Amino acid sequence: DSGVTQTPKHLITATGQRVTLRCSPRSGDLSVYWYQQSLDQGLQFLIHYYNGEERAKGNILERFSAQQFPDLHSELNLSSLELGDSALYFCASSVGGDTQYFGPGTRLTVL
Amino acid sequence: GIQVEQSPPDLILQEGANSTLRCNFSDSVNNLQWFHQNPWGQLINLFYIPSGTKQNGRLSATTVATERYSLLYISSSQTTDSGVYFCAVDPNTDKLIFGTGTRLQVFP
């Protein structure tokens, strides 16, 4: 158990819908990262927040947005979902820029 | 951007065998991690090793930062070692760049 929690574990929804994925970092970690793992793109970085502020952005679609709240949990919002958004979404946390610990992931299926 | 290449892409072993997985990266990094993704999809931290050598039980890792490669050694492999092994690096950009992984299958 990495200490990073993600909810829900599984999510099945339809095209065009909007979903919210939630992540709670390890106690004391200020950084939260989001990654997407799909069959064709592999594991890709989406976005990094540090203590509530956006620090780095990857190839995150405009339909996707994220935020980190004062209690340090983070949410990833995916809207206007397409079939190609089906993937495993991971959240990771770290104290600063060192070891990133990954949560169990949320498996999103878009039908 | 930085390129991360892992070899071999696939590895099939019998229980008890030893193996070496390699990760090459094309630029200097300030973070390198090895992960094991088990058949249930969980990404498990194995090592944080931007340089030097570390050991944890049957697993050990060595990173030679000046030559831009890292090696993961698995000794006396077990069926529970099966899964995909990823190397991921951070070229001081606040994000991890993952390799394409090595898929390991260990048979009894």
pLDDT per position as a tens digit, B28-63: 999 999 999 998 899 999 999 999 999 999 999 999
Place B92 in a pLDDT band, splitting at 50, 70 and 90: confident
Query: What is the reported pLDDT for A39?
Result: 85
Which pLDDT score, from 0 to 100, does residue A98 have? 82
Q: Establish, for the pair of chains A and B, how many residue pairs have beta carbons separated by less than 8 Å.
A: 49
In this prediction, residue B93 carries a pLDDT of 83
| pLDDT value of residue A2 | 87
Q: Tell me the C-alpha distance between A10 and B86, whole Å.
A: 23
Residue-wise pLDDT tens digits, A72-99:
999 999 999 999 999 999 999 998 768 9
Residue B72: pLDDT band with limits 50, 70, 90:
very high
Residues of A with CB under 8 A from a CB of B: 2, 33, 35, 42-45, 48, 55-56, 58, 88, 90, 92, 97-102, 104-105, 107
Cα(A59)–Cα(A64) distance, integer angstroms: 10
Q: For residue A83, give the 3-state DSSP assignment.
A: helix
* pLDDT at position A96: 74
Q: Tell me, what's the pLDDT at A59?
A: 85
Distance separating alpha carbons of residues A81 and A78, to the nearest angstrom? 7
Cα separation of the two ends of chain B: 41
Residue A81, exposed/middle/buried by CB under 10 A (0-12, 13-18, 19+)? buried
Asked if B42's CB is within 8 angstroms of A97's CB, the reply is no
* Cβ atoms of B89 and B82 closer than 8 Å: no
Q: Which of B94, B97, B98 sits opposite A97 (nearest CB)?
A: B94
Which of B42, B93, B94 has the CB atom closest to A104's CB atom? B42
| Rounded Cα–Cα distance for residues A109 and A11 (Å) | 6
Averaged pLDDT, B75-87: 97
**CA separation, residue A77 to residues B43, B59, B98 (Å):** 22, 38, 23
Enumerate residue ranges in chain A where pLDDT < 50: none
Name A74's Cβ contacts closer than 8 Å, sequence gap at least 6. A22, A23, A25, A32, A34, A49, A66, A67, A68, A91
Residue to test with chain A: of B96, B98, B100, B102, most A Cβ within 10 A: B96
**DSSP 8-state code for residue B30:** S
At A45 the pLDDT is 95
Handedness of CA B42, B45, B50, B54 (dihedral sign): negative
How far is Cα A80 from Cα A19, in angstroms, rounded to an integer? Answer: 9
Residue B54: predicted pLDDT: 97
